[in-house]
Amino acid sequence: MTNKSKRVVILNENELRKTLSRLTSEIIEKVKNLDNLLLVGIPTRGIDLAEVLVKELCLNTGVTIKKGTIDPTFYRDDQNRIGTRQIKVTDIPTPIEKQEILLIDDVIYTGRTIRAAMDALYSWGRPQRVMLLVMVDRGHRELPIQPDFCGKKITTSKNESISLRLNSVDNEEGVFLE
């Protein structure tokens, strides 16, 4: 259980909604053919964030966006350091050749999760383009990976963490520094 008294609000519920709206608009502007777009969520909150974005994109465009999930656990180069968690099922609902893939994650930190997710994704084929959307970029990159879409940049210390909370999963909504 999270100690809420030690949390700092980065984005409250209203600010998170505005950020999601902005990110949705940026996706619509940057991706010319939404029928060719596949949102791929990375566990854990990236999957939930992808679901929110699929709904927002459909509300704004009327286009039903395909979505999938990819678990990069077995592609990580730092498993000994970070440990393992329960594996999520990878679900890629369509052949990815000629697709524009938008990887979705809640927070980017070192870049290692994203690199592992790209390695896992390429085991499914070669997409036309891969983009990255994160809700929070907290710096401290160890790899040259940058998001194409970013909700908020915030510099943190290495012993802090950021959590995205969504009503559908957490019964609260916002982004918090812990």
Extents of the domains making up the chain: 12-158
Task: Give the C-alpha separation, 42 to 157, whole Å.
Answer: 23
Count how many residues are written for the chain.
178
Q: What's the pLDDT score for residue 1?
A: 45
Q: What's the pLDDT score for residue 44?
A: 87
- SS3 percent helix, strand, coil of the chain, rounded to 5, is 35, 25, 40
Interval 55-70: pLDDT, tens:
999 999 999 999 999 9
What are the Cα distances from residue 132, in Å, to 4, 7, 85, 111, 175?
30, 27, 23, 11, 19
Q: What is the mean pLDDT of the chain?
A: 93
Retrieve residue 20's tokens.
């999601």
| Neighbouring C-beta atoms of residue 8, cutoff 10 Å | 11
Whose tokens are 């791929």? That residue is 40
- Which phi and psi (to 5°) does residue 50 adopt? -60, -40
Whose tokens are 């690199």? That residue is 115
DSSP 91: B
Ordered strands of the 162-165 beta sheet: 8-11, 174-177, 162-165
| Neighbouring C-beta atoms of residue 145, cutoff 10 Å | 15
Q: What's the pLDDT score for residue 77?
A: 80
Query: Which residues partner with 129 through β-bridges?
Result: 100
Interval 120-170: pLDDT, tens:
999 999 999 999 999 999 999 999 999 999 999 999 999 999 999 999 999
Whose tokens are 């390695």? That residue is 119
Architecture of domain 12-158: 3-Layer(aba) Sandwich (3.40)
